[in-house]
Structure 1
Amino acid sequence: MQLVVARVGRAHGIKGEVTVEVRTDEPELRLGPGAVLLTDPASAGPLTVETGRVHSGRLLLRFAGVRDRNAAEALRNTLLIAEVDPDETPEDPDEYYDHQLMDLDVVTTEGVEVGRVTEISHLPSQDLFVVERPDGTEVMIPFVEEIVVEIDLEEQRAVIDPPPGLIDDRAEVASARDAEDGSAEDGEDTPGTGA
């Protein structure tokens, strides 16, 4: 199975290094020296990682055969693709690869069907499941342990305990005005507002 693990950014310096936008939780495994990566466009690769280092919070890579700034700049926006065994799992039992989560059936703790995971959206603050509901609409579910309480890969399902309003209209309105007994309804004067 092929997974996109990074995108090449701009050239860094004059010796062929490039910045990369990492798209994997395991850059030391997927982008370490000696790693051979396929590319998109395919004509740019395959590329073999020669060296890697972090500079000012960004990962810099140098590929075998890329020796100057012009060659490095020619790789800009190239996607780096790793060949991954589909049965491989992360070391941490509470982590998952995106391909493991795709197409999971999503159900609530009460057994109510919500839909099917069609996409994993990686945001800076958290990841989201994009879930297609049976009626074709989509709902986004934060992939946090307070909401996604179980992932069962054997049963191909994710069990969620959604807060009110996340997947339906059970949202509770918390407004002081709504909490009053409705004395302002039907055009009646409210105390303290007269002239």
Structure 2
Amino acid sequence: MEETICVGAVAGAFGVHGEVRLKSFTSDPGAIADYAPLSTEDGARQFEVEISREIKNGFAARLSGVETKEEADALRGVRLYAPRNRLPGLPDDEFYHADLIGLSVLDTGGKTLGEVKAVFNHGATDLLELRIAGQSRTVLLPFTRDIVPTVDLEAGRLVADPPEGLLD
């Protein structure tokens, strides 16, 4: 199966005529429909996407094959994926979240700090969830140029200069 990137998620039904609430994870949120057909994570279902209008926290949209409120509600929480080759290329200092997950994290002296477990964005900046090497705990590391000056996807690592006390 070709590599896919999560570009959105269904947040439930919108109205009673089969529309869904669609959250877009793309840099231009309205462009999510341009990457259709979108598929479920396992690739079992594919959907054409037609955005009806912008609503709070996303879009009201029609997904092909979804005709009723019950069908739309059944998709609540389903993440939607597009093949990487349909997505735009990124500038050198931007990354798809999927590319960061699993990278080794080293400090500026070359010591292994851990591994990126997840990437979150709650508005202000991206946060890397870092699983600390040799421990089960995780910490959130701001993904800024000052704190993460180097990302080397080819080498599978990034270099971080975490704020003092974060890893204690």
Tell me which interval the TM-score lies in, with the shorter structure as reference length: 0.7 to 0.9
| Equivalent residue number for residue 142 of structure 2 | 142
CA RMSD of aligned residues (A): 3.0
> Could you tell me how far apart the structure 2 residues matched to 1:57 and 1:79 are?
16
| 1:4-15 correspondence to structure 2 within 5 Å | 4-15=6-17
Q: 1:14: how far off?
A: 4.3
Residues 61-103 of structure 1 show CA distances to partners (whole Å, capped at 9, x for unaligned) of 1123444545434433333222324xx7743322111221122
| Equivalent residue number for residue 183 of structure 1 | none
| Equivalent residue number for residue 100 of structure 2 | 101
2:38–2:81 contact (8 Å) kept in structure 1? yes
Residues 138-194 of structure 1 show CA distances to partners (whole Å, capped at 9, x for unaligned) of 3331112221111122222211222221224xxxxxxxxxxxxxxxxxxxxxxxxxx
> Could you tell me how far apart the structure 1 residues matched to 2:23 and 2:143 are?
22
1:8–1:19 contact (8 Å) kept in structure 2? yes
| 1:39-188 correspondence to structure 2 within 5 Å | 39=40, 45-56=45-56, 58-85=58-85, 90-137=89-136, 138-168=138-168
Change (3 A) 1:63 1:159: same
Q: Which runs of 5+ in 2 are unaligned?
A: none
Change (3 A) 1:107 1:15: same
Give the aligned residue type for 1:117.
V
1:6–1:79 contact (8 Å) kept in structure 2? yes
> Could you tell me how far apart the structure 1 residues matched to 2:6 and 2:39 are?
9
Change (3 A) 1:161 1:64: same
Give the aligned residue type for 2:142.
P
| Equivalent residue number for residue 23 of structure 1 | 25
| Equivalent residue number for residue 185 of structure 1 | none
- SS of the counterpart of 2:99? helix
* TM-score, scaled to structure 1: 0.67
- SS of the counterpart of 1:3? strand
Give the aligned residue type for 1:17.
E
Change (3 A) 1:65 1:140: closer
Q: Which has the larger radius of gyration?
A: 1
Q: Which runs of 5+ in 1 are unaligned?
A: 169-195
Give the aligned residue type for 1:39.
T
Give identity over the alignment, percent: 32
The number of equivalent residue pairs is: 165
